[in-house]
Structure 1
Amino acid sequence: MSLLTTTGSKLYIGSARPGWQAGPVEAGAFAADVWTAINNAENLGRVGGEWGTEDVTKMPAGDPGGPVYEAHVKVTRKATSMQLILGLNAADPGQIALQAAFDSLHPFAFRIDFADAPALGPAPTPSKRLFIALVTSTDDVLDSSNRVVGTACVLILQSSVVRIAATTGA
């Protein structure tokens, strides 16, 4: 297996999830989604998960004779955030949908397709990441005078991330 790069990756937004309760999700939950490409992605940020922990260190009685190491246990999955940077295009259907998701109170389905579809096979498909997230911020990025205006968006994940491997379609 070769290294996976983000070059050529594509970001999509799917449907709203009214009433969604944060938790695990499987690929089948996205089967009915109609996907709209969000174009001009400059940075797709980080997507994944993180555990919250609790310190359960017990101090030994008397002199421990050396350092005491903290002990932790996993307690809850944190709602991690993903920051997107896009080249602003007010006419892009995906960016319009992303803004509508920001204006909505509901989380939405998201998909990332990597550019790693096999060259051979009857119906090659790329690796994918699927998840549900709230769009919690959108800001214009006005960094410097010789750069295009951008949009920075923050997604807060409300599900696990489904990882789908590239296939030849055979």
Structure 2
Amino acid sequence: MTVHATAGLKAYIGGTMEQKSDGFVLADFTTPPQTWVEIKELEAAGSVGDTSEAVNFTAISDARTRVLKGPRSAGTMELICGIDADDAGQLALIAAEKTPYDYAFKVVFNDAPPGGTPSERYFIAKVMSQSEQYDQANSVLKLNASLGVNSNIVRVAAEEA
């Protein structure tokens, strides 16, 4: 097993997708194929992954609170980009924030073995916010977007050629 740097990671936005009662699988993102648009000038990609909500129950007879696992949430992924007014991916994020729909997202790692394919992550999310960050004179103008993840994370491992 080898670890890899975040450098070289790419994020993409696709079209709208409907919720499912079952977990998503790779075929949901490839059949029919999505049209993926890279979100460029990405500085930070945040995190995604399931966290179970705690469900507490206290039995009077044994005076013990039990913690059960409730519904899972994949959280909110925070994207930070250098503003590029001509970038189709950033424009798609801004447009998606104005809608109530879930969109397909793909994250591609920079971990492909020589001649092989890289690891990928797929999920659906609502673009919950988009804001511009200006900071100080020696800063890059930033576009910040929050993705409210509404599905499981489909993981595709890197493969040898």
Q: Normalising by structure 2, what TM-score?
A: 0.91
Structure 2 residue 142 is the aligned partner of structure 1 residue 153: no
Aligned residue in 2 for 1:92: 87
Structure 2: distance between partners of 1:22 and 1:97 = 27
The one of 137, 146, 168 equivalent to 2:160 is 168
- Write out aligned runs for 1:53-72 (5 A): 53-59=54-60, 70-72=65-67
Give deviations 1:141-169, integer Å, cap 9, x for gaps: 11222011001100001100011100124
- Write out aligned runs for 1:43-122 (5 A): 43-59=44-60, 70-78=65-73, 80-120=75-115
CA contact (8 A) 2:126 2:150 kept: yes
SS of aligned partner of 1:56: strand
Q: Which runs of 5+ in 2 are unaligned?
A: none
SS of aligned partner of 2:58: coil
Structure 1: distance between partners of 2:5 and 2:136 = 27
1:103 Cα deviation after fit: 1.5
Distance of aligned partners of 1:43 and 1:22 in 2 relative to their CA distance in 1, 3 Å threshold: farther
Aligned residue in 1 for 2:2: 2
1:97 is matched by which residue type in structure 2?
A: A
1:4 Cα deviation after fit: 2.5
Aligned residue in 2 for 1:136: 128
Distance of aligned partners of 1:130 and 1:3 in 2 relative to their CA distance in 1, 3 Å threshold: same
Structure 1: distance between partners of 2:11 and 2:36 = 9
1:104 Cα deviation after fit: 1.7
Q: Normalising by structure 1, what TM-score?
A: 0.86
1:101 Cα deviation after fit: 1.0
Aligned residue in 2 for 1:14: 14
Distance of aligned partners of 1:22 and 1:81 in 2 relative to their CA distance in 1, 3 Å threshold: farther
CA contact (8 A) 2:119 2:155 kept: yes
**Structure number with higher strand proportion:** 2
Aligned length: 159
Distance of aligned partners of 1:157 and 1:146 in 2 relative to their CA distance in 1, 3 Å threshold: same
Query: Identity percentage over the alignment?
Result: 34
RMSD of the TM alignment (CA)?
A: 1.7
Structure number with bigger Rg: 1
Structure 2: distance between partners of 1:100 and 1:152 = 14
